[in-house]
Structure 1
Amino acid sequence: MRHRDNQLWLDPSTTNPATFAADSSYRITAPWVAGRRSPVVKGLYADPNIAYLNGRYYLYPTTDGYNGWSGARFKAFSSTDLVNWTDHGTILDLGPQISWADDRAWAPTIAYRDNRYYFYFSAATSIGVATSSSPTGPFTDPLGRPLVPAGFRSGQMIDPHVFTDTDGRSYLYWGNGSAYAVPLNADMISFDAGQVRTFSLPNFREAPFVFKRGTTYYLTYSVDDTGSENYHVEYATGASPYGPWTHRGTILAKNLSLGIKGPAHQSVVKAPDSDAWYIAYHRFAIPAGNGTNREVTIDPLRFNADGTIQPVIPTL
């Protein structure tokens, strides 16, 4: 334990002692509090979907750290305060549980209807759906095939998100390179392919996520490549789940002064009984992460008086 730059540091024994002007001794009189509040879940995770379900917040991320993003398992975490998270373990394992895919388990999302939870996920560049009576599974595949197969439309069929409007209608959004949406049928596991819409969004790359505040619909999405430090979040607003969309610009981007790179692939949640909102996203793991070694964090999402979103201040 050493003192450096007005901070107390815990360092490995391999640290060069010349880095420090002098050693110091301390008597600890209060519990140790880490300087960083994130990542909110320990380990390498990305593409977080955050949702408030049954009195708790839930996070459903991509399990990260694999070359080529080749992971095969999905986990779930839950919290009552967005700070302390419970690890619920693996809720879906592609290999033994999904007959049509066994790798590239990416970017899940969750929805709820009629006492069932619907878990939408990317696998082998297709989109699948699994169901459960619990937000932490176990989940099972009711279709035995992709809901949105690879090649269904231009680009990769990945990054699903389900938005349920105040009238109870649910919509599936997805896309990489092009953005798509379609109303889901009441069973939540099918749709009419003739109703698929394609959106033209400036700079769109992937990760469409829609939420509604008041009468305004917000479509957030990620720009650039997840392997780039310039990966960031832009958004548009509209008067319906289909828009038409008015581009509003960037709300989340890198901060190199803090070592924050590639902050994006976002999701948004509203705290119950309030107008407090939060954005979950991933960034390069600090200090030595990259596009396949990422970590998940959460920051407040704030609005201006006219309903536009204030730039998010990424924090450590």
Structure 2
Amino acid sequence: MKNIVLIVLNVLFFATTATAQIDTLNAPAAVLPNVYADPHIAAFGNRFYIYPTTDGSEGWKSTSFTAWSSKDLVKWKYEKVILDLPKDISWAKERAWAPAIAYKNGKYYYYFSADVNIGVAVSDKPTGPFKDALGKPLVKKAMLRGQMIDPMVFVDDDGAAYLYFGQGNCNIVKLADNMISYDTTKIISIKPRGYNEGSFVFKRNGKYYLSWSEYDTRDPRYSVAYATSDSPLGPFVKATKNPILKGKGVVKGAGHHSIVQVPGKDEWYIAYHRFKIPGGNGYNRETCISPLRFDQDGNIMPIDVFEKVKPVKIK
């Protein structure tokens, strides 16, 4: 009888272990088809939108940006190309990377990396078409240390807007009310421990969260960490429990994220890219979404890259 019990326990143990291994080998499908990276997710009106980098070229030499919309975070509609560098931009033709979008003054402001500069375009609609607002970069290549890429704009409750950008350092500056200019003498440059690129900022319960990607996007260890502050300009204190997002099993290179709140709810989701499954790498990445949750103290809890997103609607 004792031997039979031991056999049953061993079978249960190995079955549980096998199930755990299978879970890490079967990740949820990407939310966008083909290869897209660096997704910026936002909610406008009764829809969600994703603005990604078009991936799939050695050296990330894409030349245009697209937009995608969804009513529920699960099914995504291809809107169109919303900005084409060769046609719409006079000062850059390739390396269209890591965009972000913000709404203010009744208009949509689209910030983007192009040939290692940062530009800004404007439209009356979240799906464009967008037009170059300046005819030149908003942030010029080599203006500061590191690469002038990965813009992100946060609009606070009082209407003030802040630009975050940079690889190597995180640069922060308050934008003018027109959203397309700033005082260069007011730029703050910080480098949180582990910071590489892809900064993102949001506010919850009066606290400002700054998150970023660590390691290189071609590295399977690519991951996301965060810090908090009482001000959008910092100082930011890195959380003790990091990273909040990282690869596991078949999921590799999970990073370069953005975070969206379901309007009117304390419900949050994180969009990010991972190496394409199967056979992906730092030039072939795909866009995913996972739930993002907080503990009772406001700390971001570790994200489960194997949790499927259920349909969510904006009222």
* CA distance in 2: counterparts of 1:168 and 1:37, whole angstroms: 37
Q: 1:19 maps to which residue?
A: none
Amino acid at match of 1:240: S
Where is the helix percentage greater, Structure 1 or Structure 2? 2
The CA RMSD over aligned residues, in Å, is: 1.0
Q: Which has the higher contact order (CA 8 A, sep 6+)?
A: 2
**Residue 253 of structure 1 pairs with residue 259 of structure 2:** no
Conservation of the 8 A alpha-carbon contact between 1:70 and 1:104? yes
Match of 2:287 among 268, 271, 296: 296
SS in 1 for 2:48: strand
Q: Deviations over 1:36-91 (max 9, x none)?
A: 64210111000000000122100000000011000001000011100011100100
**Residue 223 of structure 1 pairs with residue 214 of structure 2:** yes
Q: 1:102 maps to which residue?
A: 93
Q: Deviations over 1:151-194 (max 9, x none)?
A: 11000000000001111100000010011010010110110101
Q: 1:44 maps to which residue?
A: 35
Q: Deviations over 1:260-313 (max 9, x none)?
A: 000000100000111000000000000100000000000000001110000001
Q: 2:143 maps to which residue?
A: 152
* CA distance in 1: counterparts of 2:99 and 2:29, whole angstroms: 21
Match of 2:225 among 221, 234, 238: 234
Q: 1:67 maps to which residue?
A: 58
* CA distance in 1: counterparts of 2:218 and 2:106, whole angstroms: 38
Q: 2:156 maps to which residue?
A: 165
Conservation of the 8 A alpha-carbon contact between 2:166 and 2:197? yes
Q: 1:193 maps to which residue?
A: 184
Gaps of 5+ in 2: 1-25, 309-315
Q: CA deviation at 1:244?
A: 1.3
Amino acid at match of 1:107: A
TM-score by length of 1: 0.87
* CA distance in 1: counterparts of 2:201 and 2:101, whole angstroms: 13
- Using the aligned pairs only, state the percent identity: 50
* CA distance in 2: counterparts of 1:142 and 1:106, whole angstroms: 18
Amino acid at match of 2:41: I
Conservation of the 8 A alpha-carbon contact between 2:27 and 2:305? no
SS in 1 for 2:93: coil
Segments of 4+ moved more than 3 angstroms: none
Match of 1:285 among 242, 254, 276: 276
* CA distance in 2: counterparts of 1:273 and 1:184, whole angstroms: 26
- Structure 1, 236-245 or 222-231: larger mean CA deviation: 236-245
**Residue 87 of structure 1 pairs with residue 93 of structure 2:** no
Gaps of 5+ in 1: 1-34
Conservation of the 8 A alpha-carbon contact between 1:38 and 1:296? no
When the two structures are aligned, how many residues end up with a matched partner? 280
* CA distance in 2: counterparts of 1:83 and 1:174, whole angstroms: 29
Conservation of the 8 A alpha-carbon contact between 2:169 and 2:195? yes
Conservation of the 8 A alpha-carbon contact between 1:50 and 1:57? yes
Match of 1:180 among 149, 163, 171: 171
Q: CA deviation at 1:200?
A: 2.7
